Amino acid sequence: MRHQHLVQVNDLANPHIQRLTRNQLWQGLVLRAREPQRFMEQLDDAQIVAEGEGWLRREMRFGSLLVIDLIEFEHEKLVRYQTQAGADHGGGLLLMQIEEPEAGALFVRFSYDTPHEVPDSEQHLLAYVRQAWQDTDVATISLIRLLAQEGLLG
């Protein structure tokens, strides 16, 4: 299943909403990878098990479900999550790409690619999955905005 959507970060037409810098947004996206427990309250445990220049590997536990991600970073551009298939899930790919069509007008494009095969009789369930992804991604940007307001991001 593939899905992508765009979340607006800075609305240049609305002076009442604090604008994030590209660096603040970037730091927030990296924080989501490094400290997922801040962004997912249902997460029981998360550990970074290896890391190097521009990447990290982490393990997360949701009850008995183990999720292993390889996360790659392209500075102030892109975060790529490659989730390893497991006994209880098929893995997949998530890209979070920063877009700036004009100076200060920041967006994040979230692109999902998962191997989920859904029978025709259950296609209506995909709308719920897509909506859940979008809700999570909007909440991510909202939390990044809050962390920036609190001075926790550059």
CATH number at residue 27: 3.30.530.20
Q: Which of 131, 130, 154, 152 is nearest to 143 (CA)?
A: 152
The pLDDT tens digits of the residues spanning 55-76 come to 999 999 999 999 999 999 999 9
Amino acid at position 98, single letter:
I
CA atoms of 121 and 53, how far apart (whole Å):
45
Question: Which structural domain range is residue 113 located in?
Answer: 2-147
Query: Residue 107 domain-assigned?
Result: yes
Query: Residue 154 domain-assigned?
Result: no
The pLDDT tens digits of the residues spanning 81-120 come to 999 998 878 889 999 999 999 999 999 999 999 887 776 7
Query: Residue 28 domain-assigned?
Result: yes
Query: Residue 152 domain-assigned?
Result: no
The pLDDT tens digits of the residues spanning 123-141 come to 778 888 888 889 999 999 9
Is the separation of the CB atoms in 111 and 98 below 8 Å? no
Q: Which residue has the tokens 């800075």?
A: 10
Long-range contacts of 41-47, Cβ-Cβ distance < 8 Å, separation of 24 or more: none
Query: Residue 153 domain-assigned?
Result: no
The pLDDT tens digits of the residues spanning 16-36 come to 888 999 999 999 999 999 999
Which of left, alpha, beta for 66 (phi over 0: left; psi -120 to 50: alpha)?
beta
User: How much is the pTM?
Assistant: 0.91
Number of domains the chain is built from: 1
Residue 139: partners with Cβ closer than 8 Å, 6 or more residues away: 39
CA atoms of 19 and 113, how far apart (whole Å):
30
Query: Residue 61 domain-assigned?
Result: yes
